[in-house]
Homo-oligomer: A and B are copies of this chain.
Amino acid sequence: MQHVTIKEIAKALNLSFSTVSRSLNDNYQISEKTKTLVRDYASSVNYIPNLAAKTLKTGISNSIAVVVPFLSSPFFVDFFEEITMLFSKTDYNVILLQTFNNPIKECEALDVAIQNRVAAIIISPVHDDSNCSKLAYIQKQVCPVVLFDRTNHRLETHKIGVRHEREIAIAAKQLLKQGCKNILLLCCKGIGANDARIAGIRSAFLGKQEPDYSWAVVEIEYNHPNEDLKKQLLRPLKEQKEGLCYDGIIATTDTLTTKVLPLLLTDEGMLADCAQVIGFSNTAYARILNPTWTVFTQPSRQMAIKCYETILELINYRRLQINPAYNTVFLDVIPG
């Protein structure tokens, strides 16, 4: 099929195609009159630029890769929705890539990003050192990389996240204040942030001695969020201290809050009936599930905004060949 090209516009307007190209790119050298002429004609013939040609010539496409574990978590859906809206006001468009928490798929996703000559990568990596050398290579040789959410990754770059230790400490202290004595911390298995989270609950229990007080951590594996979580959850719980009944629970992720927790609560024996719950979640369902729960919301949209700003800055720096000084920005969880 034949699309309208710059060449055809040039011929129709009796201009060189360099001039047409410059006009469409709003080049300062071209007179307003010519620009208007070209733009009006281009839109009248419904000119749609061939991005492949531009990408081939410049070496950089106008795509931004957003690499996330999966979309089954509302946190990532929110983040993606927000960042898509932000970039939709620019010339960039967003390519979404999912890793399903699998380093091999992450590697493939990064290859797709390179193949497409993306202008930048925004990634929530699989774990602390997944595809480290590849990401370092990309950052050095291909395009800027920004990490979000899982900021413990070893790559040195701008990172945008939350202070997991602090947030969990706040949650745990709140439960203790409400009278809880035995607190269960539910984590997703193999996530780098877990160390910080455990440090958080430990710090909240400083000075609270056994046997009056206790806390425990259960790590649940849900690489693909549609797995059967119940068995996983109950096995370690049953192996743990017999007779103990947790009266406070902290669920650290959206999946844990909305899927795992209801399983735990409907099941027999592991929890006090009046167990108090703080769940981290980005879905309105979380509150509906049980109105007495306290829901802490991850600042997904704020993170998207910060990622967006950071990426534009890094792209600009790279164009100007300025080396940025990388730093990590922490945003506050929104307590319920």
Residues of A in contact with B (beta carbons under 8 Å apart): 1-3, 48-53, 55-56, 59, 61, 70-72, 77, 80-81, 84, 88, 93, 95-96, 98, 105, 108, 111-112, 114-117, 140-142, 258-259, 262, 283-285, 288-289
Contact = CB atoms under 8 A, between A and B. Distances in A.
Contacts of A88: 105, 108
Q: How many copies does the complex hold?
A: 2
A55 B115 CA distance: 11
A72 B61 contact: no
A261 to B, nearest CB: 9
Nearest to A49: B115
B1 A141 contact: yes
B55 A52 contact: yes
Nearest to A261: B288
Contacts of A116: 51-52
Interface of chain A, main secondary structure: helix
A11 to B, nearest CB: 20
A117 B88 CA distance: 18
A163 B289 CA distance: 31
Contact of A52 (B49, B72, B108, B117): B117
Top 4 A-B residue pairs of the complex, sorted by shortest distance between their CB atoms: A52-B55, A1-B141, A52-B56, A262-B288
A112 B93 contact: yes
Contacts of A2: 141
Given A52-B55, A52-B56, A53-B56, A81 B71 contact: yes
Nearest to A283: B285
A330 to B, nearest CB: 25
A29 to B, nearest CB: 25
A53 B51 CA distance: 11
Contacts of A98: 81, 84
Contacts of A52: 51-53, 55-56, 61, 116-117
Nearest to A73: B77
A78 to B, nearest CB: 8
Contacts of A51: 52, 115-117
